[in-house]
């Protein structure tokens, strides 16, 4: 019995002793460090590292830190600076958070969270990154030097095994190789090479564990001619770009902003203070919609509203509003009404089929056609005469922005691809900004089934627009895969500013500037602005007829409120018609309420046009409605 108890006690002691010894020997270490280096034909390299570690919350507490040198010296004592782009980080085959930390000499990838301790255990880390300036070019051979395990001071735990394979560019073969283990500067050769000379790849494997503070550094050379770009370490200018590409690209972005702002201010400056003289009538032969179009240098929905009200005030049509705030345009049986050329074109479309047009979805096609006709006539009559787009100013803007993109392309992982893609992206964005308005008109013409429209040209513009959009998307995806996130943001900003600058770069001609001075004087009068006391000419007497005559101009110049305020007493007192003022061109159930009614009318008409322009009407519904109108 005693013998049995003694045996059991010894067994238990042995088991406990083994357990304690196992715990004691379970030290933190890197069990395996496997590196694969792929040399690209542009002198860059893609590196994949699989690091298996055992963590015990000692040296490895919150995660793994992979320290890598910012620069190294080759055998010729040449200093090479390294730029890193991290492409993928996994822990046990799962994505994991990481961030970059740096000091003067090293770059670190912190894998994990600084707020959560890493539970003890075994972990497998996969780190993939890209370096731009990996190859040293020579006249007879090219060389690659690499510190496989990173800075010797980076790992404070032993590395039991290191395995590194270098894959040369396609067609290249190993001429010579070298390597050492131990602390920095040591010449120990505790490694063996498994790939023979003359092969396209070479493998280095350590024969002894690497102690804390030690490292494995390797070097490989192959015949010259397989790397097709100039290595940046041989060109101080390229070296400067590689280290500061984002800063340089940001500089070009700021230069682009400064240039665009300066040009825009120069081309769109207002007349000098004191040069505007009050004018008590509109510029000669200028309709309200024409004044708005020339002043804005573009067409908008309010220009259409202004044209409708102008035609009504002149007595050509009546605007009728029912109790549901629905509007109908009714042509009056009058002749010899002095309409402008653009207003005549608009009237021919509005009243093409009948003398009344309801502003509703049923008449959607005709309304859009009328709007296009007004825009076309205003453009043909006034554009290039009173304002132009200075395309020559676009060239410096695109050159400045292009240089910013080129800097990022040079510092990318694939210079030739990104450079070519950047050129294509810049041209596609520029042409798309020119093509988009034409494509929009083509789509709308196609939806209307305009008989006079050139169907081949329409489909051509649509296909070109789709093609350009596809090119832009593919280019952005290609560049995104090669540059940093900040670099992609910079490129997006450059292209956006260039497109915006193209649309804003419009300026009045000398005739247009002269006209704008007159418009400013007339607007001063309409807005009842402070007038120069030296001007002895008295403004015309305020009457109902004067209010109605210049109301469309006030709306066109965005001063209808201030124009109406000057006629409150005139419009609210009893008139010769023996009743409170009611405009003959407006029939409304709610009656007239001074300036408020005019404001309500303007806002309502503007909302109607905007809604009609932006409303989503199914194409088949639009075709059916158009077919109903054509049927007898």
Residue 446 — pLDDT band, cuts 50, 70, 90?
low
Does the structure show a pLDDT above 50 at 154?
Answer: yes
Backbone angles phi, psi at 49, to 5 degrees: -125, 130
In 3D space, the residue among 602, 547, 550 whose CA is nearest the CA of residue 571 turns out to be 547
Say how far apart CA 494 and CA 479 lie, in whole Å. Answer: 14
Does the structure show a pLDDT above 90 at 167?
Answer: yes
Say how far apart CA 525 and CA 283 lie, in whole Å. Answer: 13
595 contact partners, CB below 8 Å, separation of at least 6? 560, 561, 564, 565, 567, 568, 571
Residue 351: how many CA atoms within 13 Å on its side-chain side?
Answer: 18
CB atoms within 10 A of CB 462: 17
Q: Residue 530's pLDDT is what?
A: 56
Say how far apart CA 440 and CA 350 lie, in whole Å. Answer: 22
Q: Residue 124's pLDDT is what?
A: 95
**189 alpha-carbon distance from chain centroid:** 53
Q: Residue 73's pLDDT is what?
A: 60
**338: buried, middle or exposed (CB in 10 Å: 19+, 13-18, 0-12)?**
exposed
More confident residue, 436 or 319: 319
Q: Of 113-117, 131-135, 338-342, 360-364, where does the model show the most confidence?
A: 338-342
Say how far apart CA 390 and CA 257 lie, in whole Å. Answer: 17
Indicate if the alpha-carbon torsion angle 267, 273, 274, 278 is positive or negative: positive
Say how far apart CA 62 and CA 211 lie, in whole Å. Answer: 22
Q: Residue 625's pLDDT is what?
A: 38
Q: Residue 611's pLDDT is what?
A: 43
Q: What does the pLDDT look like over 53-75, one tens digit per residue?
A: 999 988 888 888 888 877 666 55
At 552, list the tokens.
Answer: 């469309």
In 3D space, the residue among 192, 216, 294 whose CA is nearest the CA of residue 514 turns out to be 294
Contact 447, 622 (CB under 8 A): yes
Does the structure show a pLDDT above 90 at 305?
Answer: no
Q: Residue 311's pLDDT is what?
A: 92
Say how far apart CA 606 and CA 302 lie, in whole Å. Answer: 6
Q: Residue 529's pLDDT is what?
A: 59
Say how far apart CA 203 and CA 603 lie, in whole Å. Answer: 77
Say how far apart CA 632 and CA 624 lie, in whole Å. Answer: 14
Does the structure show a pLDDT above 90 at 422?
Answer: no
Over the chain, what is the mean pLDDT? 76
Indicate if the alpha-carbon torsion angle 620, 626, 629, 632 is positive or negative: negative
As a whole number, mean pLDDT of residues 111-126 equals 90
Residue 241 — pLDDT band, cuts 50, 70, 90?
low
Q: Residue 72's pLDDT is what?
A: 62
Task: Classify residue 350 by its DSSP letter.
Answer: H
Contact 412, 420 (CB under 8 A): no
Contact 100, 85 (CB under 8 A): no
Say how far apart CA 143 and CA 145 lie, in whole Å. Answer: 7
Does the structure show a pLDDT above 90 at 502?
Answer: no
Indicate if the alpha-carbon torsion angle 197, 199, 204, 207 is positive or negative: negative
30 contact partners, CB below 8 Å, separation of at least 6? 51, 52, 53, 155, 157, 158, 159, 160
As a whole number, mean pLDDT of residues 508-521 equals 86
Q: Residue 510's pLDDT is what?
A: 82
Q: What does the pLDDT look like over 3-28, one tens digit per residue?
A: 545 555 555 555 445 444 444 445 89
In 3D space, the residue among 547, 524, 548, 549 whose CA is nearest the CA of residue 537 turns out to be 524
- Which stretches within 388-484 are classed as H helix? 394-410, 415-448, 455-480
Does the structure show a pLDDT above 60 at 364?
Answer: yes
The residue with tokens 């304690």 is 20
Map residue 120 onto helix, strand or coil.
coil
Does the structure show a pLDDT above 90 at 123?
Answer: yes
Integer-rounded Cα radius of gyration of the chain: 39
As a whole number, mean pLDDT of residues 184-200 equals 81
With residues binned 3-state (H G I as helix, E B as strand, rest as coil), the percentages for the chain, rounded to 5, are 45, 20, 35
CB atoms within 10 A of CB 314: 20
- Percent of the chain scored above 90 by pLDDT? 13
Contact 47, 86 (CB under 8 A): no
Q: Residue 444's pLDDT is what?
A: 57
Q: Residue 450's pLDDT is what?
A: 46
Residue 46 — pLDDT band, cuts 50, 70, 90?
very high
Map residue 355 onto helix, strand or coil.
coil
As a whole number, mean pLDDT of residues 541-553 equals 88
Contact 541, 567 (CB under 8 A): no
As a whole number, mean pLDDT of residues 511-522 equals 88
The residue with tokens 């497998």 is 124
Residue 592 — pLDDT band, cuts 50, 70, 90?
low
Contact 227, 140 (CB under 8 A): no
Say how far apart CA 371 and CA 263 lie, in whole Å. Answer: 32
Does the structure show a pLDDT above 50 at 246?
Answer: yes
Say how far apart CA 527 and CA 523 lie, in whole Å. Answer: 6
**192: buried, middle or exposed (CB in 10 Å: 19+, 13-18, 0-12)?**
exposed
- Which residues sit opposite 107 in a β-bridge? 68, 102
Say how far apart CA 622 and CA 445 lie, in whole Å. Answer: 12
More confident residue, 480 or 570: 570
Does the structure show a pLDDT above 80 at 632?
Answer: no
365, 373, 619, 629 from 615: Cα distances, Å: 12, 19, 12, 20
**620 alpha-carbon distance from chain centroid:** 34
More confident residue, 421 or 15: 421
Torsion of CA 594, 597, 602, 608, to 10 degrees: -170
Report the relative pairing of strands 45-55 and 29-39 from DSSP bridges: antiparallel
More confident residue, 203 or 542: 203
Residue 531 — pLDDT band, cuts 50, 70, 90?
low
Give this prediction's pTM: 0.50
Residue 242 — pLDDT band, cuts 50, 70, 90?
low
Does the structure show a pLDDT above 80 at 117?
Answer: yes
Does the structure show a pLDDT above 60 at 606?
Answer: no
At 407, list the tokens.
Answer: 């800097």
Measure the N-to-C terminal CA separation of the chain; round to a whole number of Å: 120
Say how far apart CA 106 and CA 151 lie, in whole Å. Answer: 8
Does the structure show a pLDDT above 50 at 285?
Answer: yes
């Amino acid at each position: 019995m005693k013998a049995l108890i003694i045996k059991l006690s010894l067994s238990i002691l042995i088991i406990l002793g083994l357990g304690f010894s196992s715990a004691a020997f379970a030290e933190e270490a890197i069990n395996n460090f496997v590196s694969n280096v792929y040399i690209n034909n542009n002198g860059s390299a893609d590196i994949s590292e699989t690091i298996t570690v055992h963590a015990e919350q000692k040296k490895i507490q919150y995660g793994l830190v992979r320290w890598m040198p910012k620069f190294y010296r080759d055998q010729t004592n040449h200093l090479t600076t390294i730029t890193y782009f991290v492409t993928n980080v996994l822990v046990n085959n799962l994505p994991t958070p990481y961030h970059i930390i740096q000091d003067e000499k090293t770059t670190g990838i912190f894998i994990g969270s600084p707020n959560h301790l890493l539970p003890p255990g075994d972990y497998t880390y996969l780190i993939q990154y890209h370096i731009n300036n990996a190859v040293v070019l020579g006249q007879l051979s090219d060389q690659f030097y690499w510190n496989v395990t990173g800075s010797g001071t980076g790992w404070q735990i032993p590395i039991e095994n290191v395995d590194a394979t270098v894959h040369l560019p396609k067609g290249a073969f190993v001429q010579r190789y070298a390597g050492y283990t131990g602390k920095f500067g040591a010449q120990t050769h505790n490694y063996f090479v498994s790939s023979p000379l003359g092969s396209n790849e070479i493998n280095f494997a350590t024969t002894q564990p690497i102690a804390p503070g030690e490292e494995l550094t390797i070097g490989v050379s192959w015949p010259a001619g397989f790397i097709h770009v100039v290595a940046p370490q041989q060109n101080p200018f390229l070296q400067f770009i590689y280290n500061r590409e984002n800063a340089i690209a940001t500089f070009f972005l700021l230069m682009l902003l400064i240039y665009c702002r300066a040009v825009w201010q120069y081309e769109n400056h207002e007349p000098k203070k004191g040069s505007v003289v009050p004018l008590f009538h509109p510029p000669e032969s200028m309709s309200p919609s024409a004044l708005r179009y020339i002043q804005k240098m573009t067409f908008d929905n309010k220009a259409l509203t202004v044209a409708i009200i102008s035609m009504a005030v002149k007595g050509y049509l009546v605007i009728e509003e029912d109790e549901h705030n629905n509007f109908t345009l009714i042509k009056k049986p009058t002749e010899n009404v002095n309409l402008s050329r653009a207003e005549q074109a608009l009237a021919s479309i509005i009243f093409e089929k009948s003398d009344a047009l309801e502003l509703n979805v049923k008449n959607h096609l005709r309304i859009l056609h009328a709007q296009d006709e007004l825009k076309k006539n205003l453009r043909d009559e006034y554009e290039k005469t009173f304002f132009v787009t200075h395309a020559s100013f676009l060239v410096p803007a695109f050159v400045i922005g292009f240089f910013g993109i080129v800097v990022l392309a040079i510092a990318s992982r694939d210079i030739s691809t990104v450079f070519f893609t950047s050129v294509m992206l810049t041209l596609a964005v520029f042409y798309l900004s020119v093509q988009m308005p034409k494509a929009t008109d083509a789509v709308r013409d196609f939806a209307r089934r305009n008989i006079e429209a050139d169907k081949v040209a329409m489909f051509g513009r649509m296909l070109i627009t789709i093609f350009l959009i596809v090119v832009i998307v593919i280019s952005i995806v290609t560049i995104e895969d090669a540059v940093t996130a900040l670099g992609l943001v910079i490129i997006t900003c450059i292209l956006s500013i260039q497109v915006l600058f193209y649309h804003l770069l419009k300026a009045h001609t000398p005739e247009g500037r002269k006209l704008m001075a007159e418009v400013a004087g007339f607007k001063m009068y309409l807005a009842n602005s402070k007038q120069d006391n030296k001007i002895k000419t008295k403004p015309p007497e305020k009457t109902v007829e004067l209010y109605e005559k210049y109301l469309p101009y006030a709306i066109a110049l965005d001063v209808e409120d201030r124009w109406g305020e000057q006629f409150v007493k005139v419009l609210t007192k009893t008139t010769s018609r023996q009743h409170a003022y009611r405009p003959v061109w407006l029939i409304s159930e709610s009656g007239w309420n001074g300036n408020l009614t005019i404001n309500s009318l303007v806002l309502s008409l503007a909302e109607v046009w905007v809604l009609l322009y932006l409303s989503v009407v199914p194409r088949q519904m639009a075709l059916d409605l158009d077919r109903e109108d054509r049927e007898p």
